[in-house]
Amino acid sequence: MYALVVNNSITRVFPGPKGFEHNGNQYSPDIFYKWSKAEKEAIGLYEVETDSSNKKDDKWYINTNELYTFENNKVIRSWGIATAKRLEDENAVDENGDPVLDDDGKQIINYGLKTEKKKIIKDQASGLLTPTDWYVVKANEVEGYTVPENITTFRSDVRAKSNEMETQIDACTNVDELKTLYEYTEQEDGTITRPLAEFPALEN
pLDDT 10s digits, 80-118: 999 999 999 999 999 999 999 999 999 999 999 999 999
Q: What is the pLDDT of residue 158?
A: 98
Together in a domain, 125 and 51: no
93 is a domain residue:
no
What's the one-letter identity of residue 180?
T
What's the one-letter identity of residue 96?
N
- The H or E element containing residue 76 is strand 74-78
Together in a domain, 132 and 71: no
Q: What are phi and psi of 62, to 5 degrees?
A: -100, 115
41 is a domain residue:
yes
Q: Which residues have a Cβ under 8 Å from the Cβ of 147 and sit 6 or more positions away?
A: 135, 136, 138, 139
Q: What is the pLDDT of residue 23?
A: 92
Print the domain residue range for 162: 112-193
Q: What is the pLDDT of residue 8?
A: 93
Distances in Å between the alpha carbon of 186 and those of 81, 165, 178, 189, 190?
30, 20, 19, 8, 6
Together in a domain, 166 and 130: yes
Q: What are phi and psi of 180, to 5 degrees?
A: -60, -30
204 is a domain residue:
no
Together in a domain, 69 and 123: no
Q: What is the pLDDT of residue 65?
A: 94
Q: What is the pLDDT of residue 203?
A: 85
Together in a domain, 71 and 129: no
Together in a domain, 142 and 76: no
44 is a domain residue:
yes
Return the SS3 of 103: coil
Q: What is the pLDDT of residue 204?
A: 79
**Number of domains, the chain:** 2
91 is a domain residue:
no
pLDDT 10s digits, 29-52: 999 999 999 999 999 999 999 999
DSSP assignment of 154-194 = HHHHHHHHHHHHHHHHHT--SHHHHHHHT--EE-TTS-EE-
Asked if 19 and 27 touch (Cβ cutoff 8 Å), the reply is yes
Together in a domain, 125 and 189: yes
How confident is the model over 14-29, as a mean pLDDT?
Answer: 95
Together in a domain, 117 and 181: yes
52 is a domain residue:
yes
Q: What is the mean pLDDT of the chain?
A: 95
94 is a domain residue:
no
92 is a domain residue:
no
- Judged against a pLDDT cut of 90, whether residue 66 lies above it is answered with yes
Together in a domain, 78 and 118: no
Rounded to whole angstroms, the Cα distance separating 124 from 105 reads 32
